[in-house]
Structure 1
């Protein structure tokens, strides 16, 4: 039975949380750079320290026991409390310390409206010794990462609002419909909308069915969760799909891609920063948010 928490226990609890996040021992091997037998040994050590089983593993797959779920929740609260303590202790010296984990959408590096680089420059001019962790993922995955506490904030286009998150609008992005040079539509000056709708499309996997689009396909023969994957399918000449205009420009300029009926099939989306509503942010996160909002001329912006 666990009577006190040591550094070893903290390492075992973090490993346990990582295994759960990965969905099991097999999936966690690559992320932890550890063999399955080694992971199993560490989880077994933690279970012996606690005095009960945390998860079932074997032919039936990986699943948490009821006690395992409680320990996971308690561990996450413990990790957050440690992070708050480290940040508060460091702030007494006037210096930002600790970890800062941020989530970003892919392809925004070419978007003119984003001033992420300016915000990051301002943050690193502060008196700080912060370990920065950056993750690029699909919008839905970024929302879940903020909710789960894997990142403190994320910036992307979010097609719907979740009540557990605060949204801070930052900038707009223009989206158009494209085909590649190998596609039959490429040489057609003004293809018919009905023909476009009936073509093979690659759709964004993070867009719900309720999303308002200027034109919806009659069928979707491919789904992609990152813009680069959408671009690959378009360049192959087999599918048409929506891409940010700033991102597609490199291939348009090379004559490898063209926008289809851009005067009618173009729309705008709003990118926002999200944080978890009601969860205290670290000093480093608050400082970066201040720098981000100032970089976008939004010093007094409120969540929506």
Structure 2
């Protein structure tokens, strides 16, 4: 009785199918490039594996038994399934499949140096059947999500390296001090630094306490965990705040905001890609990382 299907069984079934197609052992010799006795041995072997006769052969000619008819139908269905598997396996050769989870800092779409859109565009030119999941969050939350396996990789500003993550610098972001048109210092051409320090500030909640800034706020009465929150406080005229210059540009152009001491009170923030150390990467994740590094001229030649 056939309890498992081995490679040899598939070969015997294909010989059996060829014999049926040719109408008998004699006619199948040329098709199979086998002697009649060899074909007979293989069919007998198949019957032994099955535990019953599947065809009658002899002076009365070749004909299938009822069970042979059923086995032929089942064999053809099996061959069709094998062909479907073969085609699907071939289609997957070089094709990226699955899900990719990407984390980003907020409000970097206006930073040309980030090139996230270009990396995504390059990735989608590949042969793929992928679903891309994009999340925007604070740097600390992005780090935790990568460590926990919720994200495959993330790109943001990270204040200090964690031992379980790999960091790849990608680009820098310029940050300055901004004030809204409703703020008392907005109309002051060159406000003194003491006046800035005496003002209320909104600080970034994701910056470490030892972060060195061009000017250290003395009066912090608000905390933001996303850049957009800083914008609201600055536009309100109640607070000064640090903002990326590219992100603040629309409000600068509209006259709702201005940079204070733009030549001196600014600094550059490095943004990096983080991936988990020691965790295998899928083919799709590796491909996206390659495209990202290529867009930043960091890929290996």
TM-score, scaled relative to structure 1: 0.68
Q: Map residues 1-304 of structure 1 onto 2, 5 A cutoff.
A: 93-300=93-300
Aligned mates of 2:215, 2:182 — CA distance in 1: 22
Deviations 1:199-241 (A, max 9, x none): 1000000001011111111121000000001001000000000
Deviations 1:241-271 (A, max 9, x none): 0000000010011100001111221000111
For the structure 1 residues 227 and 91, does the alpha-carbon distance in structure 2 shift closer, same or farther, using more than 3 Å as the test?
farther
- Is the partner of 1:289 in helix, strand or coil? helix
Aligned mates of 1:231, 1:300 — CA distance in 2: 39
Aligned mates of 1:134, 1:160 — CA distance in 2: 23
Aligned mates of 1:130, 1:171 — CA distance in 2: 26
For the structure 1 residues 119 and 109, does the alpha-carbon distance in structure 2 shift closer, same or farther, using more than 3 Å as the test?
same
Aligned mates of 1:194, 1:141 — CA distance in 2: 34
Q: Give the number of the structure whose alpha-carbon radius of gyration is greater.
A: 2
Aligned mates of 2:258, 2:211 — CA distance in 1: 24
- Is the partner of 2:109 in helix, strand or coil? helix
Aligned mates of 2:261, 2:93 — CA distance in 1: 58
Aligned mates of 1:194, 1:205 — CA distance in 2: 23
Specify every segment of 5 or more residues in structure 2 that has no aligned partner in the other structure, as ranges. 1-88
Aligned mates of 2:90, 2:171 — CA distance in 1: 33
Aligned mates of 1:188, 1:160 — CA distance in 2: 37
CA shift, 1:300, in A, is 2.8
Aligned mates of 1:90, 1:246 — CA distance in 2: 46
Cα pair 1:123 1:288 within 8 Å, conserved: yes
Aligned mates of 1:94, 1:237 — CA distance in 2: 55
Specify every segment of 5 or more residues in structure 1 that has no aligned partner in the other structure, as ranges. 1-88
Deviations 1:108-140 (A, max 9, x none): 100021111111111111111111110000111
Cα pair 1:90 1:96 within 8 Å, conserved: no
TM-score, scaled relative to structure 2: 0.69
Aligned mates of 2:300, 2:94 — CA distance in 1: 24
For the structure 1 residues 91 and 272, does the alpha-carbon distance in structure 2 shift closer, same or farther, using more than 3 Å as the test?
farther
For the structure 1 residues 96 and 194, does the alpha-carbon distance in structure 2 shift closer, same or farther, using more than 3 Å as the test?
same
Aligned mates of 1:122, 1:264 — CA distance in 2: 38
Aligned mates of 1:121, 1:218 — CA distance in 2: 44
- Is the partner of 1:213 in helix, strand or coil? coil
Alpha carbon RMSD of aligned pairs, Å? 1.5
- Is the partner of 2:299 in helix, strand or coil? coil
